[in-house]
């Protein structure tokens, strides 16, 4: 049984402000790298205890070089750095029995800690008319490759997204969001133990099904600025619906997923 771990940072216990998740944050950021790596290690231990024969961890935050390789559990291989063709889900196409999302945050417009969708320039994002955050997008991509998401960890707003999208998924709430920059967190050691136990439970169910990825897949991105939308609409086959909204239809979800990344990259560079 091969297990895939996509690891973000904003949803880790104890993290509430941007300085903790950006390299310019100095010591705060370095401490957060340790917290992030420790939660991933808890997931690795749980996967191994549940019988995993191979584990791949993909660093899915920011520039994707946050996980401390020297501290990572030796039972897993690490994918880090950017750019990567599949970004937060690099390597998922290699074939896995299950995926889990550690340290994930809620989508933009929710009440979650540091909530956003891909970038703070994105007001909202929909796939075939359904609003999605990073959890939803990445779960759909996993589903495209036939991989079910069995566990997610983060705050209660991330948990709500998971409940509405992933039937039967194991959800570990490691902190309660009080507002965008505040949360009541579990002690890190307790959060890690819950992740370890949760993944053992999830993998022992062996009854999960991949999330069905739509084909065709129409992506609708509403940006927070007309200039951003204008730049994104440079992408061939994209359409500008109004001053701040760009639409793209892919033949399948893989095409749509990669188009999302291109649209946001163009908009950020405007």
What positions carry a catalytic annotation? 116
31: tokens are: 């401490």
Residue 126 labeled ligand binder: no
- Of the CA atoms within 13 Å of residue 133, those in its CB half-sphere come to 24
In the sheet with 122-127, reading across from the earlier edge strand, the strands are 130-131, 122-127, 217-223, 245-250, 239-242
Beta-strand pair 149-155/170-179: parallel
Residue 10 labeled ligand binder: yes
Residues facing residue 220 across a β-bridge: 126, 247
Residue 160 labeled ligand binder: no
Residue 155 labeled ligand binder: no
H/E element, 43: helix 27-49
| Cα separation, 15 vs 188, whole angstroms | 10
Residue 65 labeled ligand binder: no
Beta carbons within 8 Å of 211's beta carbon, 6+ residues apart: 139, 140, 142, 143, 148, 149, 165, 166
Annotation: binding site for Zn(2+)? 8, 10, 61, 105, 134
Which residues define the annotated binding site?
8, 10, 61, 105, 134
């Amino acid at each position: 049984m091969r297990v895939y771990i996509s690891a973000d940072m904003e949803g880790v216990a104890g993290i509430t402000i941007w300085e903790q998740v950006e390299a310019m944050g100095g010591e705060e950021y370095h401490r957060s790298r340790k917290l992030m790596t420790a939660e991933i290690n808890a997931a690795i231990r749980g996967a191994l205890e549940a019988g995993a024969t191979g584990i791949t961890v993909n660093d899915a935050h920011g520039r994707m070089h946050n996980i401390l390789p020297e501290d990572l559990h030796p039972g897993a291989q690490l994918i880090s750095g950017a750019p990567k063709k599949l970004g937060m889900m690099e390597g998922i196409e290699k074939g896995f029995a299950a995926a889990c999302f550690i340290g994930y945050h809620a989508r933009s417009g929710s009440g979650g800690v540091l909530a956003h969708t891909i970038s703070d320039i994105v007001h909202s994002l929909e796939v075939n008319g359904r609003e999605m955050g990073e959890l939803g997008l990445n779960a759909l991509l996993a589903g495209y490759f036939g991989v079910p998401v069995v566990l997610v960890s983060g705050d209660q707003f991330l948990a709500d997204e998971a409940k509405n999208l992933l039937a039967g998924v194991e959800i570990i709430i490691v902190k309660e969001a009080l507002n965008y920059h505040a949360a009541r967190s579990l002690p890190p050691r307790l959060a890690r133990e819950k992740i370890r136990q949760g993944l053992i439970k999830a993998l022992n169910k062996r009854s999960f099904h991949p999330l069905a990825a739509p084909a065709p897949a129409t992506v609708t991105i509403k940006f927070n600025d007309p200039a951003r939308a204008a730049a994104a609409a440079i992408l061939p086959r994209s359409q500008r619906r109004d001053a701040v909204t760009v639409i793209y239809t892919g033949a399948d979800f893989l095409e749509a997923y990669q188009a999302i990344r291109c649209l946001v990259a163009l908009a950020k560079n405007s």
